[in-house]
A and B are shown apart, each in its own frame.
Chain A
């Protein structure tokens, strides 16, 4: 009998499953139901206990937990053994990981150890005549490829903000299974000398309901000042295109796009951004997309809902004044 279940890796941050874990459960539940199999999750680390209940209430049938006090520091080399062990136990048809820093490392390593290849950065999936099909952007976000797998389990990462998380269902029942895995010290070959988190001020970019992003068209770092004022006035966050970050005009942590953050706010205002596929891959999920660009033929206008073809310097101060009024 071939496998029918889905396994997800739920990443933990600050004692809770990350928002993208719930998206993984959302897609995982749908695909597992279509294949007629169970949905399982695997979690690692000392804070995982609190997350288990959340995962079950949002769709997991069983949660595999690895919580070894000797392994409290996160190492991808160790995590890989745990994920391998979980996959061996569950034997899923699909193992879905988040398209996060660690997910994008672990998915390919896991796949190659299994003599398979992963589908990276997927945004959707479906089952057609019993065949699992996943969709992923390619060519810098300009195209979508639909892929199927020739070896089992299928291993894939899911881009954030691509799926609806399931609503929590309090009282939903599930099983918790503890994973007892020996991690030989020599498995950990990479020494983590230091880990530093960016300090975030104000609203987090990936959680903001309003994002105002600036590109090379701002002409320099000063252009971002008015974007910040506008974001403050609206309770939103500031994003940037890659050139704006590469040029040092705005911190790299605010980069939106295929090699930066993915956002899906209610409102995205792109200022001085031309609309390259690589940028749009990070913001095309916005409910309302506004573009302000002096070039009426800029690509951004083929994605935008509302456009203003004008120099930003003239228009933004007027908008700010109206908002503040």
Chain B
């Protein structure tokens, strides 16, 4: 059997427009905006897609477990995960995670994965689409002392090894390592499939196992603000210090002429 754990996070919709986006100066967090959708971080959805493809192609049994760490009940996240027919869900839910950073998050996830036990492959997104940090997959791997294959455009499991196509700045590489291992998944995998209505209905009845920090054998002192490695001193929305000069004209020809004239005047085109 191949046991895959997918780590997933629930975030404010990353496609929110700039005008809808605000930072709360008090808490230095993203301001809550009424009606703004929360979604699964898109790279994490793509992790489930990668896991489902492995399950379809494998000639042995594949078990997929969803794992999430947060402070609020993640009912929707697990409903979405179960609608892809994942076999199990674990939810690390504790108020102490309120101020977690990449270090404490991967420490807690790594510890939970040890407790889940017999895990072959761990999938995380290449980064979360809110913090854009891209460190948790590496943190889990270092915590567990296992190899990590980053930024996968394709993931395959074969004869006890995992093989990925890694997206590089200027090309690709094919990497292989024996299981257990961590793989971080990139958007080149393609969009996650949509579950059927029947799958969605059935998922509503399934519940994850909920663990507190204590349940996985960790103290608050290992996870609270005092354990964080980075301090966020400030968050702000950068101001654009110029306004847009709109070019106007009667015909497309006039517009083109005005633009080309302007760009030549600025000496940015020959």
Contact = CB atoms under 8 A, between A and B. Distances in A.
A306 B268 contact: no
Contacts, number: 237
Contacts of B16: 142
Contacts of B135: 108, 111-112, 117-118, 120
Contact of B171 (A198, A276, A296): A198
Contact of A322 (B151, B237, B260): B260
B132 A267 contact: no
Interface string B125-144: 01101111111001101110
Contacts of B169: 100-101, 261
A291 interface: yes
A191 interface: yes
A29 to B, nearest CB: 23
A197 interface: yes
A178 interface: no
A81 interface: no
Contacts of A119: 230
A150 interface: yes
B263 interface: yes
A70 interface: no
A197 B176 contact: no
A130 to B, nearest CB: 14
B186 to A, nearest CB: 8
B269 A305 contact: no
B238 A144 contact: yes
Nearest to B143: A112
Interface stretch (A42-50, A89-97, A310-318): A310-318
B138 A109 contact: yes
Interface of B: 14-19, 21, 23, 30, 101-103, 106, 126-127, 129-135, 138-139, 141-143, 147-151, 163, 166-178, 186-188, 190-191, 228-238, 240, 242, 244-247, 252-253, 255-257, 259-260, 262-263, 266, 268-270
5 contacts: A105-B148, A111-B103, A210-B269, A304-B244, A308-B259
